[in-house]
Amino acid sequence: MESQLYFYCLSGPDKGKRVVLTKDAPIAIGKNINANILSDDPFVTDEYVGLTLLDSEQVAFNCSHGYNIFVDGASHQSCQIIPGNQQIRIGSSIWKFISPDPVTQKSAQAANKFGSYFQEKITNVTGVSRLEGFKLGHIFSSVFKKRSDEEIEKEFIVGTSETTPSITNIDTNWAKPWVFFRLLILSIGVFLLFYYAFVRFNNQLLVPGLIFVGTFAIPFSCLIFFIEMHAPRNISLYQVIKLMFIGGIISLIISLLLFDLTKLSNWLSASAAGIVEEAGKLITVVLLMANKKRYPWIFNGLLLGASVGTGFAIFESAGYAFLYGLNTLDNLTSIIIARGVFSPFAHIIWTAAAAGAFWKVKGSGNFKWEIFSSSKFLKVLAAVMILHMLWNAPFGIPLFNYPLSYYLKYLLLGIIGWIIVLGLMQDGLKQLNQAREDSKLE
């Protein structure tokens, strides 16, 4: 087996980042998109340092001209060291070598292999792209950074003629969202205050607020995540919120009409929602937005679908909360918490995926019926319908007791859904990159 080392950042702006060093495979650390480790350190340049694990079990470091690293306090522009307990400073971040024990290393390799195989199967079946350059640590690296209120406000000044970037100025790297997390914490805090106030004063007038905040908090935070990941930045927050409310209620009405017309519930019981509701939400997105030529990108479809899915999820959860709340407060809060926790794995991503696949086929053209016969679209639509049907099916993961068996099922289905959504985001980045290259030739 090849000799391997982990190069791990202990502290500083790049804290938590790591990379596996393999013999004779150069590793680059910098801000360039092609770097193996995309640094967030303000003192690191595009191509700051390269390191290679040599045959002699030494690691060679080579910095760009004019830059140094510090090994145990000693400055070097280039050097070779035998990995041990050295403390290595790159920019203002502290790094160390870590040698995993054989058992841990073998387990990690098996897990990575299984994860890659799992992802490959899903992307092959649905026809979306495999993830390239995607790392959860990188995506969420800005979550805990301090931000001012002004920075938060600037995040949403997008989508107008003055604030929409040209194709040549669109950032086609994976985004690093952070506002969604602050909104999530704030919303949960407000919900807890409503809950405390109701328990403390037993005032029934607080129940509507408890339902509204509880059913709104996590779904809307998930929608903000989609806004932050939305690379074209050509849809305003106003348009998103308008579509969330209008699309949410229209999709509910269309779904109820389809339930009534098809009578599928008589045959499939709760699983019928997988066909009916996904069709109802997608029809809503298409009716309201498909002929708007200012939204030609796959990312547009993803965000527009997430908006309708969020509205649907909020209104449906509020209905369930009211229904369960007629019995006891415990039933009310339990249904709010359960549906809130799992909302990022359900309606929002299902509608985002279906609409993203629709826009992938539609492109910059107008709506055409032929889109519904495209395999690129049908594969994704069928996948989200099946995910929804399995979600509603009256069984959980075998070998586990209720409710854990159901929670594990929801988590597994959610992971599959997110792989599809992220694969479509990868398709969206490729589409934007191609458009940018084409614009240079004009």
Q: Name which of 253, 297, 295, 245 is nearest 425 in CA terms.
A: 297
H runs (alpha helix) in 128-178: 136-139, 149-155
Do the Cβ atoms of 362 and 399 come closer than 8 Å? no
Is residue 100 reached through a cis peptide bond, with omega within 30 degrees of 0 on the bond before it?
Answer: no
Q: Which residues contact 67 (CB under 8 A, 6 or more apart)?
A: 45, 48, 49, 77
Q: Look-up: residue for tokens 């066909």?
A: 275
User: What pLDDT digit, counting tens, does each position of 8-57 carry?
Assistant: 899 888 888 888 888 778 889 998 878 888 888 888 988 889 998 886 56
Nearest CA to 341 out of 211, 207, 217, 185 is that of: 217
Residue 16 has a pLDDT of: 86
For residue 125, what is the enclosing H or E element? helix 102-126
Write the pLDDT tens digit of every residue in 89-128. 999 999 998 876 555 556 666 767 777 888 999 999 999 9
State residue 107's pLDDT score. 65
Q: In 3D, which of 183, 184, 209, 180 has the Cα closest to residue 195?
A: 209
Name residue 5's beta-bridge partners: 21
Average pLDDT over residues 236-258: 97
Reported as half-sphere exposure (CB side, CA atoms, 13 A), residue 304 has a value of: 28
Average pLDDT across the chain, whole number: 90
Q: Residue 51 phi/psi, 5° resolution?
A: -140, 145
Q: What is the C-alpha separation between 235 and 157, in angstroms, rounded?
A: 10
pLDDT at 2: 47
Question: Which residue, 255, 253, 222, is CA-closest to 240?
Answer: 222
Tell me the pTM. 0.78
For Cα atoms 258, 259, 261, give the angle at the middle one, nearest 5 degrees.
60
- 174-183, 203-212, 348-357: the lowest-pLDDT one: 203-212
**pLDDT: is 393 or 73 the higher one?**
393
Give the three-state DSSP class for 335. Answer: helix
Cβ-in-10-Å burial (0-12, 13-18, 19+) of 84 comes to: exposed
Buried b (16+ CB within 10 A) or exposed e, 311-338: bbbbbbbbebbeebbeeeeeebbebbeb
Q: How many CB atoms lie within 10 A of CB 366?
A: 9
- Structure confidence by residue, pLDDT tens digits, 309-320: 999 999 999 999
Q: 38, 40, 32: which is closest to 11 by C-alpha?
A: 40
Residues of the chain with CATH 2.60.200.20: 4-99
CATH number of 4-99: 2.60.200.20
Phi, psi of 239 (to 5 degrees): -65, -40
